[in-house]
Amino acid sequence: MAVEIERKFLVASDSWRGLVIRRQRMRQGYIAGNAWASVRVRVAGDGAWLNIKGGGLVAVRPEFEYCIPAADAEQLLALCEGPLVSKTRHWVPHGGLEWEIDEFDGDNEGLVVAEIELGFEAQEFARPNWLGKEVTELARYYNVNLVKHPYRAWDETERSP
């Protein structure tokens, strides 16, 4: 079984911007999503993927991802619930690993989340100075939930974990 080990963090400053090695615009939507699983369609550049994640709001969960034709992805996006999630993903190397920093726009403009994928759950990693609070276990920071309750609708309490 495919497993994703990923931790999510807020960013504490913009000092990561000068360290970006590549970036890509992405659009994604959710065909299905609940507390235990999600089915996502993503278009990034010329590529498109169908992604299925299980396990809920934890760092370690099953993940399956399949390339699909871009034309199929566009049709599937039309079936998705709520507004699409749009963002620019920035890749930043640090301490021998690569961070993915998602800068959201549209209904989620202003939200910036850093993610790191690990080889095993207890893996140690160097924390860059721009890294903020961990939000791995906070449901509102998951893309599947940003469709239902976008960042623009968050109150001050939600914006300050």
- Catalytic one of 30, 141, 142, 151: 30
Q: Is 104 helix (H, G, I), strand (E, B) or coil?
A: strand
CA 24/CA 4 separation, integer angstroms: 21
CA 157/CA 74 separation, integer angstroms: 36
Question: Has 30 been annotated as catalytic?
Answer: yes
- The residue written with tokens 């095993």 in the block is 120
Terminal-to-terminal C-alpha distance of the chain: 33
Instruction: Give me the active site residues, please.
Output: 30
